[in-house]
Amino acid sequence: MVQSGEKGGRFLYTAALLAAGLFLGAPLASQTTPPGISNVQVTRVTDTQATITWTTDVPANSRVDYGLTKPPTDLASDAENVTAHSLTLKGLETCRQYFFSVTSSNDDGSTTDDNGGAYYTFVTGTGCYDLIVGHLLWEDRCEGAGSGGDGVADPGETLAVQVDVANATPYLPVQNVVVSLESLTTGVTVQDPSSKSFDLEAWNGGDPFPKKRASFQVTLGRALSCRQEISLRLTVDSDQTDPEVRTVRLFVGSAPDLLSEDFTLPQDLDQHPTGWSVEDGGDPGKSWTRNNAALCNRAGPTGITAPFEILDSDCFGEDGTQDDGLVTPVVDCSQADSVELVLDTLYFSAETGIDEARVEVSNDGGATWSTVAIWRITVGESPGDPDAGGGGAAEVHLDLTPWAAGKSQVKVRFRYVGAWGWYWYVDNVRIKGRTSSSACSMELCCGLPSTPSAPNVTDVNGPCADEGVQITWSQDPSGEWGDEGMDSLNRRYAVYRDGTLVAGGISYGTTSTVDTEGENNVAYAYTVKYLNTCGQEAFSASATGTDVYAPAVPTISGSHANLCPATGVVLTTESGMSGYQWRKDGNPVGSNSDSYTATESGTYTVSYTNGSGCSGTSAGHDVAITACAAAPVADGRNGTQPLRVAKGAGGSLTVTYDTTSCPASQGQYNLLYGNLASVSTYGFSGSVCGVDADGSYSWSSPPEGNLFFLVVAENGTMESSWGKKRTGAGESERSTSPSGLCGSTAMDTASTCP
Is the pLDDT at 396 greater than 80? The verdict is yes
CATH number assigned to the domain covering 456-546:
2.60.40.10
Task: Answer whether 257-434 and 637-748 agree in fold.
Answer: no
The confidence score (pLDDT) of residue 551 equals 96
The confidence score (pLDDT) of residue 730 equals 86
Nearest of 625, 626, 622, 741 to residue 683 by alpha carbon: 741
Q: Could you count the other beta carbons within 10 Å of the beta carbon of residue 677?
A: 11
Query: Poorest-confidence range of 270-284, 356-370, 575-589, 645-659?
Result: 645-659
Is the pLDDT at 699 greater than 50? The verdict is yes
* Residue 17 pLDDT class (50, 70, 90 cuts): very low
pLDDT tens digit sequence for 181-221? 999 999 999 999 899 999 999 999 889 999 999 999 999 99
Nearest of 60, 59, 69 to residue 101 by alpha carbon: 69
CATH number assigned to the domain covering 257-434:
2.60.120.200
Measure the CA–CA gap between 720 and 751, rounded to whole angstroms: 8
Nearest of 449, 446, 453 to residue 511 by alpha carbon: 453
Is the pLDDT at 533 greater than 70? The verdict is yes
Residues 6+ apart with CB under 8 A from 517: 468, 497, 502
Is the pLDDT at 3 greater than 50? The verdict is no
The confidence score (pLDDT) of residue 603 equals 97
Is the pLDDT at 4 greater than 70? The verdict is no
CATH number assigned to the domain covering 131-251:
2.60.40.10
pLDDT tens digit sequence for 324-334? 999 999 999 99
Nearest of 299, 360, 375 to residue 137 by alpha carbon: 375
Hey, is 62 helix, strand or coil? strand
Is the pLDDT at 315 greater than 90? The verdict is yes
Return the higher-pLDDT residue of 67 and 642. Answer: 67
The CATH superfamily holding the domain 37-123 is Immunoglobulins (2.60.40.10)
Query: Poorest-confidence range of 12-26, 501-515, 556-570?
Result: 12-26
Is the pLDDT at 731 greater than 50? The verdict is yes
* Residue 31 pLDDT class (50, 70, 90 cuts): low
Return the higher-pLDDT residue of 627 and 588. Answer: 588
* Residue 24 pLDDT class (50, 70, 90 cuts): very low
The confidence score (pLDDT) of residue 9 equals 31
The confidence score (pLDDT) of residue 2 equals 29
* Residue 26 pLDDT class (50, 70, 90 cuts): very low
The confidence score (pLDDT) of residue 652 equals 92
Is the pLDDT at 436 greater than 90? The verdict is no
The confidence score (pLDDT) of residue 438 equals 85
DSSP state of 35: P
- Average pLDDT for residues 624-635, to the nearest whole number? 88
The confidence score (pLDDT) of residue 754 equals 80
- Average pLDDT for residues 460-467, to the nearest whole number? 96
- For the four alpha carbons of 266, 269, 271 and 273, in that order, the dihedral sign comes to positive
CATH number assigned to the domain covering 637-748:
2.60.40
Is the pLDDT at 605 greater than 60? The verdict is yes
Measure the CA–CA gap between 398 and 424, rounded to whole angstroms: 17
Q: What angle do CA 58, 63, 64 make, to 5 degrees?
A: 125
Whether this model's pTM surpasses 0.85: no
- Average pLDDT for residues 124-130, to the nearest whole number? 94
Domain limits of the chain? Answer: 1-30, 37-123, 131-251, 257-434, 456-546, 569-623, 637-748
